[in-house]
Structure 1
Amino acid sequence: MEHMNHGMAHGMDGTERHHHDVDDVDACGASHHHAMVFHTGVCQEILFNGWLTTNALELFGSAVAIFLAGILYEGLKYYREALHARATTATADSRVNITKNECGQNGNCSGTAIVKYSMLSSGHIVQTLLHVIQSTASYILMLVFMTYNVWLCIALVLGLAVGYFFFGWRKNTVVDVTEHCQ
């Protein structure tokens, strides 16, 4: 006869103890089910064990930090594009190659020049490092949203909106091909 264990663990003294796979007790003492639903709770663990809010003031401070992170994220995206645009005007730099046949038959690029960095050029290395930072920031902000805390989600969305308002009007393109979470 096969014995099946349905959520029971046997202690060393032979007694049965219940354990929960998805229920947990947070630092505020509340037992809750980890479901993917939006909530407005104040007690919130954010990203790692050390970032825990236990009252409304701590949650508000965390929301402000997340709001600012959203603005900085949009600024980083603009900065990467601005560096790329600056490289298109740096034709004197031998490490950047802009060819006329990529700009049209008349040789007139009219703002559509294609920049080709060499693999080991400083411009490509800087863009690679900024890409790593942008990718990491993008996934961290996604994980913040996945706390499903309404206040943190609103703070993040508002931060991204304000960041786009500050930086988006200066962009040369509307579609962002470097966006990681869309």
Structure 2
Amino acid sequence: MDHMMHHDHDHGHDHGHSDDPCAGHDHSHAMVFHSCVCTEILFQGWKTTNALELFGSAVAIFLAGVLYEGLKYYREALHTRASSASDSRVNITKSECGTNSPCAGTAVVKYSMLSGGHIIQTCLHFIQSTASYMLMLIFMTYNVWLCLALVLGLAVGYFFFGWKKNTVVDMTEHCQ
């Protein structure tokens, strides 16, 4: 019995002297913002245990936000390019706004289900949806630095790519 108690005591003592600086931190994702450097991000292997690792992860997340906005613009640009093409895939129809309004002609892209354009848009939609959910899960770590890196990345991405949306003519924009 005494041997058993001694073994339990040693076992508890070993946990107190772990080399892992994050051993005492609760890795469950409580719904409160925190600034701890010990954070697990998306995968078990992506953990930060010090400020340098957290900074590197924040930079990667910032760049992911920029690229996400770029992907959104690229999909819209591909769709607009297909809309402005003068081939049989595009059907110009009258809109509900009247014949003299700025949106009198609305370009409608008619892809067939197995057309190259539709397959490319489907693949890009898959990538964009996956990235969107992953970025949302990163935000749900509630780490202040990672959340800040993400929203700054999205803002910078919009700054670089969003202004181009004004030059891409959306023929239905004035109808809304």
State the TM bucket, normalised to the shorter chain: 0.7 to 0.9
User: What residue is the counterpart of 1:99 in the other structure?
Assistant: 92
Q: What is the number of residues matched between the two proteins? A: 146
Judged with a 3 Å threshold, the aligned counterparts in structure 2 of structure 1 residues 170 and 111 are, in CA distance, closer, same or farther, namely farther
In the alignment, structure 1 residue 36 sits paired with structure 2 residue 40: no
The alpha-carbon deviation at position 112 of structure 1 amounts to 3.8
Instruction: Return the alpha-carbon distance in structure 2 between the equivalents of residues 27 and 118 of structure 1.
Output: 56
TM-score, reference length from structure 1: 0.72
Q: Sequence identity, in percent? A: 74
Q: Helix, strand or coil for the counterpart of 1:99?
A: strand
Q: Cα deviation per residue 1:61-101 (whole Å; 9 max; x = unaligned)?
A: 00000000000000000000000010012222x4x131344
Which structure is richer in relative contact order (CA contacts within 8 A, separation 6 or more)?
2
TM-score, reference length from structure 2: 0.74
Q: Cα deviation per residue 1:105-141 (whole Å; 9 max; x = unaligned)?
A: 58x9677412121111111111111000000000000
Consecutive aligned runs of 4 or more in structure 1 exceeding 2 Å deviation: 31-34, 99-106, 108-112
User: What residue is the counterpart of 1:149 in the other structure?
Assistant: 143
Gaps of 5+ in 2: 1-19, 169-176
As a proportion of its length, which structure holds more helix?
2
Instruction: Return the alpha-carbon distance in structure 2 between the equivalents of residues 70 and 29 of structure 1.
Output: 30
Gaps of 5+ in 1: 1-25, 174-182
For the aligned residue pairs, the C-alpha RMSD in angstroms reads 2.5
